[in-house]
Structure 1
Amino acid sequence: MLDVLEKAAVEAGRVILAIYETGLEVRHKADCSPVTDADEAAERIILRHLSDAFPQIPVVAEEAASAGAVPDIDGRAFFLVDPLDGTREFIGRHHDFTVNIALIEEGRPVTGVVYAPALGILYSGDGAAARKSVVSGGVEISPPVLIGCRMRGDRLVALASRSHNNVETVSYLSEHGITDYEAVGSSLKFCLLAEGLADLYPRFSRTMEWDTAAGDAVLRAAGGETLTMDGRPLRYGKRNQRSDVDFANPSFVSRGRA
């Protein structure tokens, strides 16, 4: 399965980079979030790969879900897809945007791929976490290098969202005595934790499940965890929520090894 997810992510990334280099048209969805031709083209590629290889597994994909196309996932394993996470970074010509594909089983992200096409880095989580380099427009992929979260010391390094930082995040860091933090876009924050380059990622602004699932899978495979504010593991497949829309996440904190 991991090979299929990686191939789909890299092919989608190739199209994203082509649009990134030649120019893009920005539109806005009903929730006022931006969407580009790259989001839609990448999602079509990923859906084709998943449908061909795993026709029995339903897919919840961001752009399709935004248009109201959500399959029945009750009691079933399913894929979560964000074809271009960090659209604002993409529009702003930053390099930290990603392609995210994750498999969810019983509410847990068990397999995930995060590809940063502008950086040429591919992360995967499937029992173990690994990093690969992708060069020559996705033609060449290096052998995997296993990665893992580092043990947290006395001085913690945190990550925060570049585009969605807020007062609650700043207050959380201050309350925990954390002064050393870096603003990063997209699901790369999970991967940097998984790689042992930081310790903590608190998130108090809105995320959807497709934003977090693949990175969370990589992090968990690397020995980390993502917990809601009541200390429970973040779960996936959340429908019919009383206080929010389908697939919306509550606030959470992702972290490496204790």
Structure 2
Amino acid sequence: MNALTVLVARAGAATLSVSRDRMTISGKADGSPVTEADLASDRIIADGLARLCPDIPLLSEERVHLAAPPYAGSFFVIDPLDGTREFIAGRDEFTVNLAIVTNGVPLLGIIGAPALGMIWRGLVGHGAERLAVGGGGAAEPIATRPFPAHGAWIAAVSRSHGDSRSDAFIDSRPGAVREPLGSAVKFCRIAEGEADIYPRLAPTCEWDVAAGHALVAAAGGKVTDGSGAPLRFGEARAGFLVPEFIAWGDPSAAP
């Protein structure tokens, strides 16, 4: 965990070293942007994992053309820069996401938010914690909170990727308060007990979800599909799409 955390911190530092005013921005086949920061982070993580764990396969958003699913046993899932649109817009809510998935289930998750100076990490069955980047202080244990019995509950929602099904899901629950956030920071708010639910009832990709899935589960929460069924990763789904998911801080609130 510590070696992987250092790797995420190094990748995050590389994103911060890129000038957002002068960086090169390209477009992928699906129309999404990719920047120098995405590629710099990807190189650092790929090189580091090749040294640390050369026998464990790697699935990265920036190396998806090299992927060879389905994956048996364990593999890494990496989003070198989650929230590229936030990064381009000059906001601080972008992250570096690293997960280990074993037999289709995310078990370890590390999410670094370099511009916020924070890293969240968790290992399912062993708890979750947050720590300041480069602060030298002790890691602080975190946990999800029970679903509020009275009063408002907090729904983490995407700042850049709203969808009608997620909006309807929240609207059907009176008293919901939306908290717009970028990138995997939404999972972190669930894991540290600052938000109660994060619905994304529209397609996204495995590298957007895997680290947050493990972090929330390690902190005491749960991530399911819209019907309450578990998610599976690395099984050769076209485009590595996750059709929908809901992150629940309180597992008892899930269907």
TM-score by length of 2: 0.93
Q: Write the mapping of 1:176-255 to structure 2, written as runs, cut at 5 A.
A: 176-239=173-236, 241=237, 245-255=238-248
**Deviation sequence 1:192-242 (CA, Å, 0-9, x none):** 000000100000232100011111111100000111012112221131x4x
Q: Write the mapping of 1:56-95 to structure 2, written as runs, cut at 5 A.
A: 56-65=55-64, 68-95=65-92
CA distance in 2 between partners of 1:40 and 1:18 (Å) = 12
In structure 1, stretches of 5+ residues that fail to align are none
Conserved? CA contact 1:150–1:199, under 8 Å: yes
**2:117 aligned with 1:124:** no
CA distance in 1 between partners of 2:183 and 2:107 (Å) = 20
Report the equivalent of 2:112.
115
CA positional deviation for 1:75: 1.6
In structure 2, stretches of 5+ residues that fail to align are none
CA distance in 1 between partners of 2:73 and 2:156 (Å) = 33
CA distance in 2 between partners of 1:97 and 1:90 (Å) = 6
- What SS is found at the alignment partner of 2:18? helix
CA distance in 2 between partners of 1:73 and 1:8 (Å) = 26
CA positional deviation for 1:178: 4.1
Conserved? CA contact 1:58–1:73, under 8 Å: no
Report the equivalent of 1:149.
144
Q: Between Structure 1 and Structure 2, how many residues are aligned?
A: 247
Q: Alignment RMSD, CA only?
A: 1.4
CA positional deviation for 1:141: 3.7
CA distance in 2 between partners of 1:197 and 1:182 (Å) = 10
Q: Structure 1 residue aligned with 2:155, among 155, 158, 161?
A: 158
Report the equivalent of 1:54.
53
CA distance in 2 between partners of 1:31 and 1:52 (Å) = 31
Conserved? CA contact 1:59–1:71, under 8 Å: no
- What SS is found at the alignment partner of 1:19? coil
CA distance in 1 between partners of 2:13 and 2:21 (Å) = 13
CA distance in 2 between partners of 1:148 and 1:20 (Å) = 35
**Deviation sequence 1:114-156 (CA, Å, 0-9, x none):** 0000000000011210000114xxxx44211000000111332
TM-score by length of 1: 0.92
Q: Please identify, of 113-122 and 4-13, the stretch whose mean Cα deviation from structure 2 is larger.
A: 4-13
**Deviation sequence 1:4-48 (CA, Å, 0-9, x none):** 211111111111001046632111100000000110111000011
Q: Once the two structures are aligned, what percentage of the paired residues are identical? A: 38
CA distance in 1 between partners of 2:205 and 2:70 (Å) = 16
Report the equivalent of 1:99.
96
CA distance in 2 between partners of 1:39 and 1:21 (Å) = 12
**Deviation sequence 1:76-100 (CA, Å, 0-9, x none):** 2100000000000000011000000
CA distance in 1 between partners of 2:136 and 2:207 (Å) = 25
Deviation >4 Å, runs of 4+? none
CA positional deviation for 1:71: 3.4
